[in-house]
Amino acid sequence: MNVAVIGSGTMGNGIAHVFAQHGFAVALIDINQPALDKGLATIGKNLDRQVSKGSLAETDKTATLGRISTHTSLSEGVLNADLVVEAATENVELKLNIFREIDQYAPEHAILATNTSSISITRIAAVTKRPTQVIGMHFMNPVPVMKLVEVIRGYATSDEVTARVMEMSRQLGKTPTEVNDYPGFVANRILMPMINEAIITLHEGVAGVEEIDTVMKLGMAHPMGPLQLADFIGLDVCLAIMRVLHDGLGNPKYAPCPLLVNMVMAGRLGVKSGEGFYSWTHGTKELVLAERFKR
């Protein structure tokens, strides 16, 4: 079984890792060799961690790496694929172009999946000549650790293709869950309004950053508070998904909090920019409030 993974960033290298570890031949595709080398280095590091924890044998690590080939040409990389999983940058036009190209070069029988967090599967499927074979395969970060695959059926996705993707996800040791294609699917439709509400709660002065995160951590047994999680996801990503929900569902309850909008405009994006609700300039191990939110 041959799998092509498009994009070797945060999600793509994790997706390539789990497929290769479970015996699939993986063609990993990105736009240049440095991006591929970085993805492979991350896979190597994560496999080393599994070996040192005792959850993977050294020989399995070598075999896993041996199943991954790298390609800078998309048309070559997808040529023998039975399944293509697209995990390139979250941008509609970019993804539509990638799917037009995959559709042209991948074998006729190949299933085309996307790991998009927020773009309509139906819209992506519509630019191909095989909409019944296009589906969402939404892995969670970090891919080798997280059990869920949200399997998203587009308007035209067939029962057979859905069943095959559910089965392949199980072969990876994951728990696939079938949902339909509406804005935010299930994961982000529920998670993002919760994060947005936490920001509204802060904005209205109901409580401070630490208090909000403590209530949700200790009171709801969440592993981290919603504001810390927003910093990890990236406030720009949270805002973009809230806009998809607001535009797509047309309900004012999904309006992004003005504080979230302001923080994104100010470049305070969370971990990736060094500051969001917390300050991350010292690393991600310790929680330090951003200067602005100290009370």
Ligand X SMILES: NC(=O)c1ccc[n+]([C@@H]2O[C@H](COP(=O)([O-])OP(=O)(O)OC[C@H]3O[C@@H](n4cnc5c(N)ncnc54)[C@H](O)[C@@H]3O)[C@@H](O)[C@H]2O)c1
Using CB under 6 A as the binding rule, whether residue 154 contacts ligand X is answered as no
Q: Which of 32, 28, 39 is nearest to 4 (CA)?
A: 28
x/- site string to ligand X, residues 91 to 120, per CB under 6 A?
Answer: ---x---x----------------xxx---
Residue with tokens 């910093």: 231
CB of 149 to ligand X, least distance (A): 10
Annotated catalytic, 222? no
Annotated catalytic, 188? yes
Using CB under 6 A as the binding rule, whether residue 169 contacts ligand X is answered as no
Tell me whether residue 189 or residue 210 sits nearer to ligand X (CB atom).
189
- CA torsion sign for 89, 92, 98, 99 is positive
Annotated catalytic, 117? yes
90 labelled binding-site residue: yes
Catalytic residue, candidates 13, 46, 120, 138: 138
Under a CB-based contact definition with an 8 Å cutoff, are residues 127 and 96 in contact?
yes
Using CB under 6 A as the binding rule, whether residue 241 contacts ligand X is answered as no
- Can you list the pairs that 168-175 forms with residues at least 24 positions away whose Cβ atoms lie under 8 Å? 168/1, 168/83, 169/137, 171/22, 172/18, 172/19, 172/22, 173/18, 173/22, 173/147, 174/18, 174/139, 174/147, 174/148, 174/149, 175/147, 175/148, 175/149
CB of 101 to ligand X, least distance (A): 8
Of 4, 11, 230, 290, the one binding ligand X by CB under 6 A: 11
169 labelled binding-site residue: no
Of 30, 181, 231, 236, the one binding ligand X by CB under 6 A: 30
Using CB under 6 A as the binding rule, whether residue 183 contacts ligand X is answered as no
Catalytic residue, candidates 2, 117, 196, 279: 117
Binding residues for NAD(+), as ranges, are 7-12, 30, 90, 95, 117, 141, 272
Binding-site ranges for ligand X (CB under 6 A): 6-12, 29-31, 35, 74, 87-90, 94, 98, 115-117, 141
